[in-house]
Amino acid sequence: MAPTFQPLTTYQEYPADEMRHRAESFEEELTRRRTVRDFSSRPIPDGVLDACIRTAGTAPNGANLQPWHFVVITDPDIKRQIREAAEIEEREFYEKRAPAEWLEALAQLGTDANKPFLETAPALIAVFAESYGVKSDGNRTKNYYVSESAGIATGFLIAAVHHAGLVSLTHTPSPMGFLNGILGRPVNEKPFLLLVVGYPAADAQVPAITKRPLAKIRTLR
């Protein structure tokens, strides 16, 4: 099939000074973002998560096949089921599977197998990566760069959630196959990540950690 093109009409160029200001303002905005584990149960206003997921859906991806699906969970019973299933895997991880150096690395974050935020937070967003497509006749179609595409879309989603004035937590119990059963998703969708979303609790605390400076993460050639 021959490609179809259209003029680029959405690009906006800025003067150099404004460009630097915009880049630095965006840096400042995302630098305020923190992973939060202490959530309020306060509900999220209607439409906010839909807009954030639409933003995630604009992410670049392999061959524009958009190999992702987002499930928004607000039902208390389903959140409880997810917490129970996740904590089974988490206890197995902390007690049996995790090597000592991994547990040492996690110690600075104060995490353990208990995940109350999965019930307390008003919303969970389960991100699924579509390992292959399925045509209307049942035949499979190949997707490309599935993990990379889902990862970029998740990054967009996290930034959009923060920009909207909410906080989030990325949660990846391993394995996560229980999500397909609880949420009724097909076998061609692999759970990629659970994003816990909401408002921070009034007494929320976050680990006292720092990020590596530019000189440690950037090389000029």
What are the tens digits of pLDDT across the range 108-163?
888 899 999 999 999 999 999 999 999 899 899 999 999 999 999 999 999 999 99
Q: For position 102, what pLDDT does the model report?
A: 83
Q: For position 119, what pLDDT does the model report?
A: 98
As given in the structure block, the two tokens for residue 197 are 């979303």
What is the residue type of 5? F
Q: For position 52, what pLDDT does the model report?
A: 98
As given in the structure block, the two tokens for residue 102 are 């991994």
CA gap 124, 39 in Å, rounded:
12
Mean pLDDT by 10 residues, the chain (221 residues): 93 98 98 97 98 98 98 98 96 89 86 95 98 93 97 98 98 94 98 98 96 97 96
Q: For position 1, what pLDDT does the model report?
A: 80
How would DSSP label each residue in 85-154?
Answer: HHHHHHHHIIIIIS-HHHHHHHHTTT--S--THHHHSSEEEEEEEESEEE-TTS-EEE-SSHHHHHHHHH
Contact 196, 118 (CB under 8 A): yes
Give the torsion sign (CA, 179, 56, 30, 39).
Answer: negative
Q: For position 98, what pLDDT does the model report?
A: 85
Reduced to 3 states, what is the DSSP secondary structure of residue 195?
strand
CA gap 171, 43 in Å, rounded:
20
What are the two backbone dihedrals, phi and then psi, of residue 53, each rounded to the nearest 5 degrees?
Answer: -70, -35
Q: For position 107, what pLDDT does the model report?
A: 86
How would DSSP label each residue in 154-179?
Answer: HHHHHHHHHHHT-EEEEE--SS-THH
The strand ranges marked E within 1-79 are: 68-73
Sheet of 167-171: strand order equals: 68-73, 123-130, 189-198, 167-171
CA gap 213, 218 in Å, rounded:
9
- Residue 170 makes CB contacts below 8 A (sequence gap 6+) with 35, 154, 158, 193, 194, 195, 196
Q: For position 134, what pLDDT does the model report?
A: 92
Report the predicted TM-score, pTM, of the whole model to 2 decimal places: 0.95
- Residue 118 makes CB contacts below 8 A (sequence gap 6+) with 79, 82, 83, 86, 124, 171, 194, 196
